[in-house]
C-alpha cells in the first residue's frame, strides 16, 4: 500500500489552523541538530520500532527526513501499528528550499553519513584510476573500502565515521566560561529559530 503524503503547504496550513499533529524527524541526531523543521521531534529510523511509545497516540503522525526515502521506510515500519500516518512530501530539503523557518542547534555542516559516503567514493574512484594508470595492485584500495563498508553494515561500527567525527570541522564548539552568554536571560537552549534570510533568537515568553 502506497504511503499517505501531505505537502509542505498542507502542513503549514495545519499549523496555522492549530490542528494537532506530531512531526517526527527520522534522520540521525546529528542531522537533526544541524537543521530541522520547527516543532519536530527526533526519532532516528533505526530506533523507531523501539520508541513507538514516544509517538503521540492521540494525534496524526507526520514523518519527515532529508528527502523522503527514510520517511517512507518509517511509514512501512509503522503502517501496521497505526492508520494515521503520513509523509511530508519533499522532506526537510524541500522545506528549506521553500525558505521556511528552521531550527539549528549546531554550526551548519555536512551530516557524518554524507562525509563517509564522499570519502569512500573518492577512495574507490582514486584506487580504480591508479589501478588502470599505474598498477593493478592499487585495486586493493577499493577492495579495502568495500570490506570496510560491509563490516560497518554488519556490525554497525564504522571506523571511518569514528575518525571523521574527531576531525576539527566536526568538533562541537564549547563556549568559553569567560565569554558572555549570547542568549537572553532565562534562556538555556542554544537553538536558534531562523526565519528566511536572517538569524534571531526565539522571543522570550
Kindly report, residue by residue over 162-184, the tens digit of the pLDDT: 888 888 877 765 545 444 544 44
Beta strands (DSSP E) in 112-196 are 192-194
Architecture per CATH, domain 5-104, reads as 3-Layer(aba) Sandwich (3.40)
What residue ranges do the domains of the chain occupy? Answer: 5-104, 112-170
Q: Which residues contact 6 (CB under 8 A, 6 or more apart)?
A: 62, 86, 87, 88, 89
Helices (H) and strands (E) in the chain, counts: 7, 7
pLDDT in tens, 114-167: 888 899 999 999 999 999 999 999 999 999 999 998 988 888 788 888 888 888
Amino acid at each position: 500500500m502506497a504511503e499517505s503524503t501531505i505537502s509542505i503547504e498542507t502542513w503549514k496550513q495545519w499549523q496555522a489552523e492549530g490542528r494537532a499533529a506530531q512531526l517526527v524527524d527520522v534522520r540521525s541526531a546529528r542531522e537533526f541538530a544541524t537543521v530541522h523543521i520547527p516543532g519536530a521531534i527526533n526519532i532516528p529510523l533505526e530506533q523507531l520500532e523501539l520508541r513507538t511509545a514516544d509517538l503521540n497516540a492521540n494525534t496524526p503522525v507526520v514523518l519527515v527526513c532529508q528527502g523522503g526515502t527514510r520517511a517512507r521506510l518509517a511509514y512501512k515500519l509503522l503502517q501496521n501499528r497505526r492508520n494515521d500516518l503520513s509523509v511530508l512530501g519533499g522532506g526537510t530539503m524541500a522545506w528549506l528550499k521553500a525558505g521556511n523557518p528552521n531550527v539549528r542547534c549546531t554550526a551548519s555542516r555536512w551530516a557524518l553519513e554524507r562525509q563517509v559516503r564522499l570519502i569512500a567514493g573518492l577512495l574507490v574512484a582514486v584506487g580504480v584510476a591508479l589501478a588502470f594508470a599505474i598498477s593493478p595492485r592499487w585495486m586493493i584500495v577499493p577492495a579495502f573500502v568495500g570490506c570496510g563498508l560491509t563490516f560497518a553494515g554488519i556490525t554497525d561500527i564504522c571506523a571511518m565515521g569514528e575518525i571523521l567525527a574527531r576531525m576539527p570541522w566536526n568538533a562541537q564548539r564549547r563556549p568559553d566560561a569567560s565569554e558572555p552568554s549570547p542568549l537572553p536571560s532565562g534562556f538555556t537552549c542554544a537553538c536558534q529559530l531562523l526565519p528566511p534570510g536572517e538569524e534571531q533568537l526565539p522571543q522570550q515568553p
